[in-house]
């Protein structure tokens, strides 16, 4: 199952892997699309464009309203943010002059449109001062100034803004006053409820009835269709894009001819309330958002509901190239949001309606229709100029005004295709670059295409990059403890006994399940994060690799079997420390009466990377007189247990954000069903809370990194999480056409194939 949740259940059945039969079927279904791609790309050796294979576009190429990953790729290539970021996703503070940062042993210098200084004031307030270059032009030749930043800012914080940006949620002074007193007509109708119509100045009875008719009778199908579209767009249903097939990938069994309405009805039936169903199953939008979007401008336009400020007092225009954002308190995520895309006022807005001194910002407050009118035709300051979308192809032309220099390749084509055709398309010469789903079939196809039978050869050059997230095994401290004391040393020893046994089987099982597609990790954080501990760091060690006395369990000379035996002995030591009685004669604990349970969401097929780990550990525990029941369950059972905090142990995966803030997952305010109920480990530790709060209160990334390392040590000491694996993402290039020396080195989830697109060249 693939879902837009903070926790993802990963199984082969829910992965992007395709069977050989499905691979062949998908190729047949896509013949027409492939032919169109051939015609557009002119796949003879003479063509001078680069063709990138991607998935279906939503055709929202706006820096304000793009939603799908594929639309965002067009935005990235046609727009430029005020602040750049490095390979680890950390913001570059000195982009104008350039900032050199070491990654993986190599120094790289990063440039951007602007600089930022962060000043934490004595009264707790914070100032972000952003200065942009004074020599930048948009692709149409118009000069860029800070007024473009201010215009873009006010679009994103407008009371009726319904895009994906959340900069309005930052503690910017005056934000609530500016956004208050106005809301979209649709939101106002929804807030008033669907009782009898009451005459008012905000909306007519016809508008009222139109809204509720759509909300109750059509928005549910839209909600389900968005899930279907999400599955298709992300490659999970490349071979079968029917509603039933997509629903199956979402954990629902439907008839083959099921409609989106049938899918919605099944979702509602699975929950106690419609509200719970909607909150849990969303692929991004609510029925309210879908209703307003479907009904259009009349329902998107803002209407007054009270007093509203004329401007955001926390934003101050300093000069033509500098702006200051004053925040009432520090927010660790602010640095990632203030470097917004520099969209051109003269194109997306109305210069005649811009007068900063008189609180006019390029459009009428509450009416973003002029901005939305340009959604499908972007203009920006990025490396490429959008020329059009036709027959599944976005055509981009090199921007002569790009601040880092005109790209080496004049034309870049972004061709819609399906995942299973990406690698064959590289082989045939249809495509030059693609990001296919990584599975055994894909890797074999790449190796078969190369004469050296390797992933990097004379036909295809493959780059494997760590995925922005990781898989893990969790234990609830509330449910696995000694004498009802989750935080006691004995309880921690009990959980670490289990974790020591789980841990030793990771290498063998994960390698067998994933091969080159994943690697074992040691800390509860994605390796892609700038805050992740590195092997060269002082104090770095493998997860659960010391015994109850703090001594190393393993040494480099041990065989696999010797490691298993050593882990067993170390586990015995932990269980003794938990208070259990060990009979040396029988080699068993004599007083462990509880049956422990670990839930693996393998859909009853034993098809999950954690299943083998759990089974191997359970067999050793059985020898020790401890019962560990491994339950291979369906997604809904697994999810319900997690959300109700009844899962003793479980397997899952996180998708990481750029910022490593641990509040949601590990802070005690979100444990025991309180807060966001997202601390399923039930870790409740004052020292950990203090470190989490300390880490999110600092703007110093190096300091934050050390703080989070200490926090991770506490998490591991609680014995509540075992990092299992980090999957890989895959990018493939045509070795015959692309000059491999011009692709980015040390690619990451934050530094992909087009991160240095201005240098990407054909041979």
Residues 33-61 have pLDDT tens digits of 444 445 444 444 456 899 999 988 889 99
Q: What are phi and psi of 110, to 5 degrees?
A: -115, 140
**Mean pLDDT of all residues in 74-89:** 96
Q: Looking at the structure, tell me whether residues 189 and 298 fall in a common domain.
A: yes
- Does any domain span residue 252? yes
Q: Looking at the structure, tell me whether residues 201 and 277 fall in a common domain.
A: yes
- Does any domain span residue 569? no
Task: Round to whole Å and give the CA distance between 264 and 297.
Answer: 26
Q: Looking at the structure, tell me whether residues 361 and 295 fall in a common domain.
A: no
Domain, as residue range, for 211: 183-304
| 732/467: higher pLDDT | 732
* Vertex 259: Cα angle to 253 and 263 (nearest 5): 45
CA dihedral angle for residue 430, residue 435, residue 439, residue 445, rounded to 10 degrees: 20
Poorest-pLDDT segment among 132-141, 293-302, 321-330, 493-502 = 293-302
| 620/663: higher pLDDT | 620
pLDDT band at 3 (very low <50, low <70, confident <90, very high): very low
Tell me the CATH number at 136.
Answer: 3.90.76.10
pLDDT at 355: 98
pLDDT at 19: 30
Poorest-pLDDT segment among 144-158, 526-540, 739-753 = 526-540
pLDDT at 239: 67
Q: Looking at the structure, tell me whether residues 176 and 187 fall in a common domain.
A: no
pTM of the model as a whole = 0.79
- Does any domain span residue 4? no
Fill in the DSSP letter of residue 438. Answer: P
pLDDT at 468: 84
Q: Looking at the structure, tell me whether residues 315 and 172 fall in a common domain.
A: yes
The residues, any chain, with a CB within 8 Å of residue 688's CB and separated by 6 or more, are 666, 667, 668, 711, 714, 715
Q: Is the pLDDT of residue 618 over 80?
A: yes
What is the enclosing helix (H) or strand (E) of 225? helix 219-233
pLDDT at 130: 98
In angstroms and rounded to an integer, the radius of gyration of the C-alpha atoms of the chain is 27
pLDDT band at 235 (very low <50, low <70, confident <90, very high): low
pLDDT band at 29 (very low <50, low <70, confident <90, very high): very low
Q: Count the neighbouring beta carbons within 10 Å of the beta carbon of residue 119.
A: 12
pLDDT at 46: 53
pLDDT at 340: 95
pLDDT at 635: 77
Domain count for the chain, please give it: 2
| Contact predicate 755/744, CB 8 Å | yes
Q: What does the block give as tokens for 42?
A: 């002119």
Could you tell me which of 510, 515, 534 has the C-alpha nearest to residue 712?
534
**Mean pLDDT of all residues in 239-251:** 87
Q: Looking at the structure, tell me whether residues 327 and 340 fall in a common domain.
A: yes
- Does any domain span residue 83? yes
Give me the chain's average pLDDT, please. 90
| Contact predicate 531/525, CB 8 Å | yes
DSSP 353-383: GEEGGGTEESS-TT--HHHHTTTTS---SSS
Could you tell me which of 48, 71, 43, 74 has the C-alpha nearest to residue 59?
71
Q: Looking at the structure, tell me whether residues 149 and 189 fall in a common domain.
A: no
**Mean pLDDT of all residues in 503-530:** 92
- Does any domain span residue 201? yes
Task: Round to whole Å and give the CA distance between 32 and 11.
Answer: 32
* Vertex 579: Cα angle to 578 and 585 (nearest 5): 110
- Does any domain span residue 23? no
pLDDT at 676: 84
In the chain, % of residues over pLDDT 90: 75
Poorest-pLDDT segment among 166-180, 273-287, 391-405 = 273-287
pLDDT at 653: 87
Q: Render pLDDT for 719-749 as a digit per residue (tens, 0 to 9).
A: 999 999 999 999 999 999 999 999 999 999 9
Q: Looking at the structure, tell me whether residues 208 and 173 fall in a common domain.
A: no
**Mean pLDDT of all residues in 520-536:** 90
Q: Render pLDDT for 326-346 as a digit per residue (tens, 0 to 9).
A: 999 998 889 999 999 999 999
Q: Looking at the structure, tell me whether residues 267 and 318 fall in a common domain.
A: no
Poorest-pLDDT segment among 11-15, 350-354, 555-559, 562-566 = 11-15
Q: What does the block give as tokens for 735?
A: 């070795």
Poorest-pLDDT segment among 324-328, 419-423, 541-545 = 419-423
pLDDT at 251: 84
Q: Looking at the structure, tell me whether residues 159 and 105 fall in a common domain.
A: yes
Poorest-pLDDT segment among 155-164, 576-585, 649-658, 735-744 = 649-658
Using DSSP, state whether 36 is helix, strand or coil: helix
Q: Looking at the structure, tell me whether residues 300 and 204 fall in a common domain.
A: yes
- Going from the C-alpha of 507 to that of each of 208, 373, 609, the distances in angstroms are 60, 53, 11
Q: Is the pLDDT of residue 9 over 90?
A: no
Q: Is the pLDDT of residue 240 over 90?
A: no
pLDDT band at 25 (very low <50, low <70, confident <90, very high): very low
**Mean pLDDT of all residues in 265-275:** 93
Using DSSP, state whether 305 is helix, strand or coil: coil
Give the end of a domain, one of 250, 270, 304.
304
pLDDT band at 26 (very low <50, low <70, confident <90, very high): very low
Q: Is the pLDDT of residue 13 over 70?
A: no
Q: Is the pLDDT of residue 8 over 60?
A: no
Q: Looking at the structure, tell me whether residues 298 and 314 fall in a common domain.
A: no
Poorest-pLDDT segment among 38-47, 177-186, 493-502, 713-722 = 38-47
- Does any domain span residue 267? yes
Q: What does the block give as tokens for 755?
A: 């991160």
Helical segments of 13-84, H only: 20-29, 31-41, 69-78
| 473/302: higher pLDDT | 473
pLDDT band at 241 (very low <50, low <70, confident <90, very high): confident
Give the end of a domain, one of 372, 402, 424.
372
| Contact predicate 302/160, CB 8 Å | yes
| 249/129: higher pLDDT | 129
The residues, any chain, with a CB within 8 Å of residue 252's CB and separated by 6 or more, are 263, 266, 267, 270
Poorest-pLDDT segment among 159-168, 206-215, 423-432, 492-501 = 159-168
Q: Count the neighbouring beta carbons within 10 Å of the beta carbon of residue 483.
A: 9
- Does any domain span residue 542? no
DSSP 603-626: TTTT-SHHHHHHHHHHHHHHHTT-
pLDDT at 537: 86
Task: Round to whole Å and give the CA distance between 574 and 591.
Answer: 15
């Amino acid at each position: 199952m693939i879902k837009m949740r903070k926790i993802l259940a990963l199984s082969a059945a829910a992965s992007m892997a395709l069977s050989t039969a499905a691979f062949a079927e998908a190729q047949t279904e896509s013949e027409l699309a492939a032919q169109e791609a051939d015609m557009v790309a002119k796949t003879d050796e003479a063509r001078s464009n680069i063709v990138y294979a991607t998935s279906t576009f939503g055709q929202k190429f706006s820096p304000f309203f793009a939603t799908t990953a594929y639309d965002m790729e067009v935005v990235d290539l046609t727009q430029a943010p005020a602040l750049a970021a490095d390979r680890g996703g950390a913001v570059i503070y000195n982009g104008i002059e350039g900032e050199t940062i070491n990654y993986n042993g190599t120094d790289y210098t990063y440039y951007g449109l602007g600089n930022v200084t962060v000043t934490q004031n004595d009264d707790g307030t914070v100032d972000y001062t952003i200065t942009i270059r004074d020599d930048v032009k948009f692709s149409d030749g118009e000069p860029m100034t800070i007024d473009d930043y201010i215009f873009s800012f006010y679009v994103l914080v407008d009371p009726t803004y319904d895009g994906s940006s959340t900069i309005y949620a930052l503690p910017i002074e005056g934000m609530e006053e500016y956004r208050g007193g106005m809301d979209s007509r649709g939101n106002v109708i929804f807030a008033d409820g669907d009782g009898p119509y009451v005459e008012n100045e905000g909306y007519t009875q016809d508008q009222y009835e139109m809204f509720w008719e759509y909300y109750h009778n059509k928005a549910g199908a839209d909600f389900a269709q968005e899930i279907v579209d999400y599955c298709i767009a992300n490659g999970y249903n490349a071979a079968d894009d029917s509603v039933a097939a997509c629903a199956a990938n979402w954990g629902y069994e439907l008839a083959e001819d099921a409609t989106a309405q049938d899918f919605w009805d099944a979702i509602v039936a699975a929950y106690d309330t419609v509200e719970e169903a909607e909150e849990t199953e969303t692929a991004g939008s609510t029925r309210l958002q879908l209703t307003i979007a479907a009904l259009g401008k009349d329902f998107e336009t803002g209407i007054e509901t009270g007093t509203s400020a004329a401007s955001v007092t926390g934003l101050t225009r300093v000069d033509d190239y500098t702006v200051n954002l004053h925040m009432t308190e520090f927010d660790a995520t602010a640095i990632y949001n203030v470097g917004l895309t520099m969209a051109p006022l003269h194109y997306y807005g109305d210069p005649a309606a811009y007068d900063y001194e008189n609180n006019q910002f390029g459009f009428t407050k509450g009416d973003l229709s002029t901005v939305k009118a340009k959604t499908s035709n972007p203009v920006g300051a990025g490396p490429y100029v959008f020329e059009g979308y036709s027959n599944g192809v976005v055509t981009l032309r090199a921007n002569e005004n790009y601040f880092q220099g005109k790209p080496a390749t004049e034309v870049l084509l972004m061709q819609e295709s399906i995942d299973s055709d990406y690698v064959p398309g590289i082989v045939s010469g249809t495509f030059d670059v693609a990001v296919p789903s990584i599975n055994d079939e894909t890797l074999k196809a790449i190796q078969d295409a190369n004469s050296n039978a390797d992933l990097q050869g004379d036909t295809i050059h493959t780059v494997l990059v760590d995925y922005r997230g990781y898989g893990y095994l969790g234990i609830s401290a509330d449910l696995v403890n000694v004498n009802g004391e989750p935080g006691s040393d004995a309880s921690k020893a009990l959980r670490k006994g289990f974790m020591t046994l789980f841990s030793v089987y990771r290498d063998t099982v994960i390698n067998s399940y994933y091969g080159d597609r994943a690697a074992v990790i040691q800390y509860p954080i994605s390796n892609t994060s700038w805050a992740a501990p590195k092997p060269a760091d002082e104090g770095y060690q493998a997860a659960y690799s010391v015994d109850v006395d703090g001594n190393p369990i393993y040494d480099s000379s041990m065989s696999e079997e010797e490691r298993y035996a050593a882990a067993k002995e170390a586990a015995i030591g932990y269980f003794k420390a938990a208070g259990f009685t060990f009979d040396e004669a029988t080699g068993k604990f004599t007083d462990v009466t509880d049956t422990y349970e670990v839930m693996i969401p393998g859909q009853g097929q034993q098809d999950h990377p954690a299943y083998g780990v759990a089974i191997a550990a359970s067999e050793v525990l059985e020898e020790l007189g401890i019962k560990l029941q491994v339950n291979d369950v369906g997604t809904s059972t697994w999810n319900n247990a997690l959300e109700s905090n009844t899962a003793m142990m479980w397997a899952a995966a996180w998708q990481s954000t750029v910022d490593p803030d641990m509040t949601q997952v590990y802070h005690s305010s979100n444990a025991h069903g309180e807060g966001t109920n997202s601390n399923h480990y039930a870790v409740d530790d004052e020292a950990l809370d203090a470190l989490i709060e300390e880490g999110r209160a600092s703007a110093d990334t190096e300091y934050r990194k050390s703080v989070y390392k200490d926090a991770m040590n506490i998490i591991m000491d609680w014995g509540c999480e075992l990092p299992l694996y980090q999957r890989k993402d895959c990018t493939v290039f045509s070795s015959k056409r692309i000059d491999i020396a011009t692709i980015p080195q040390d690619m990451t989830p934050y530094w992909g194939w087009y991160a240095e697109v201005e240098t990407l060249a054909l041979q």
